[in-house]
Amino acid sequence: MKVAVIGATGMVGDVMLKVLAERNFPLTELLLVASERSVGKKMTFKGNEYTVIGLADAVAARPNIAIFSAGGDTSLKWAPKFAEVGTTVVDNSSAWRMDPTKKLVVPEINAHELTAEDKIIANPNCSTIQLVMALHPLHKKYKMKRVVVSTYQSVSGTGVKAVKQLENEIAGVQGEMAYPYPIGRNALPHCDVFLENGYTKEEMKLAREPQKILDDRTFSVSATAVRIPTAGGHSESVNVEFENDFELNEVRKLLNEMPGVTVQDNPDTNTYPMPIYAHDKDEVFVGRIRRDETQRNTLNMWIVADNLRKGAATNAVQISEYLVEKGLV
Ligand code: A2P
Residues annotated within the binding site for NADP(+) are 9-12, 37-38, 156-157, 307
Ligand 1 atom at shortest distance from the alpha carbon of 6: 26
Residue nearest to atom 2 of ligand 1 (CA): 9
Calculate how far, in angstroms, residue 134's C-alpha sits from the geometric centre of ligand 1: 31
Does the C-beta of 159 come closer than 6 Å to ligand 1? yes
Please count the residues of the chain.
Answer: 329
Residue to mutate, 35, 50, 51, 156, ligand 1, most ligand atoms under 8 Å from C-beta? 35
CATH number of 127-307: 3.30.360.10
pLDDT at 255: 98
Residues of the chain with pLDDT under 50: none
Does the C-beta of 182 come closer than 6 Å to ligand 1? no
Backbone angles phi, psi at 42, to 5 degrees: -95, 140
Ligand 1 atom at shortest distance from the alpha carbon of 70: 12
pLDDT at 189: 98
Calculate how far, in angstroms, residue 6's C-alpha sits from the geometric centre of ligand 1: 8
Calculate how far, in angstroms, residue 100's C-alpha sits from the geometric centre of ligand 1: 27
Kindly list the catalytic residues. Answer: 126, 234
Of all helices (H) and strands (E), which one includes residue 291? strand 284-291
Count other Cβ atoms within 10 Å, centred on residue 253. 13
Within 8 A by CB and 6+ apart from 260, the residues are 108, 133, 282, 283, 284, 310
Calculate how far, in angstroms, residue 70's C-alpha sits from the geometric centre of ligand 1: 5
Within 8 A by CB and 6+ apart from 172, the residues are none
Does the C-beta of 308 come closer than 6 Å to ligand 1? no
Backbone angles phi, psi at 213, to 5 degrees: -65, -45
Within 8 A by CB and 6+ apart from 112, the residues are none
| Domain residue ranges in the chain | 2-123+312-325, 127-307
Does the C-beta of 38 come closer than 6 Å to ligand 1? yes
Cα separation, 92 vs 94, whole angstroms: 7
Q: How far is CA 33 from the centre of its chain?
A: 21
pLDDT at 110: 98
pLDDT at 281: 98
As for the ipTM of the complex, it is 0.97
Beta strands at 144-153 and 88-91: parallel, antiparallel or unpaired = unpaired
pLDDT at 89: 99
Residues annotated within the binding site are 9-12, 37-38, 97, 153, 156-157, 227, 307
Q: pTM for the full model?
A: 0.98
pLDDT at 276: 97
- Residue burial 270-291, b: 16+ Cβ < 10 Å; e: rest: eebbbbebbbebbbbbbbbbeb
pLDDT at 32: 98
The class that CATH gives domain 2-123+312-325 is: alpha beta
Give the tens place of pLDDT for each residue, 245-296. 999 999 999 999 999 999 999 999 999 999 999 999 999 999 999 999 999 9
Calculate how far, in angstroms, residue 267's C-alpha sits from the geometric centre of ligand 1: 43
Give the tens place of pLDDT for each residue, 12-57. 999 999 999 999 999 999 999 999 999 999 999 999 999 999 999 9
